[in-house]
Amino acid sequence: MPIVVDEVVITVEVGNAAGGGTTTPPSPADDRQTLVAECVERVLELLREQREP
């Protein structure tokens, strides 16, 4: 019986804390804007995939 995987979700957390590097965190407004932009892009990508035959 074959197994079909429809979608694979991979999450990655990138940071340099182990390497001793420090960065300033983005401001909450910039962080929110980036998150909204990523969500919009993902939704548009899913809609494009659904329209393709």
Q: Which DSSP string corresponds to 29-50?
A: HHHHHHHHHHHHHHHHHHHHHH
Q: Which residues, given as ranges, of the chain have pLDDT below 70?
A: 14-26, 53
Domain assignment of residue 2, yes or no: no
Catalogue the long-range contacts made by 1-6 (C-beta closer than 8 Å, 24 or more residues apart).
none
Token representation of residue 33: 């804007």
* CA–CA dist 34, 52 (Å, integer): 27
Q: Within a domain: residue 17?
A: no
Let me know: does 16 contact 23? Beta carbons within 8 Å: yes
Residue 42 domain-assigned? yes
Domain that holds residue 37: 25-53
Number of domains in the chain: 1
Quick: pLDDT tens for 30-44. 788 888 889 988 988
| pLDDT number for residue 27 | 72
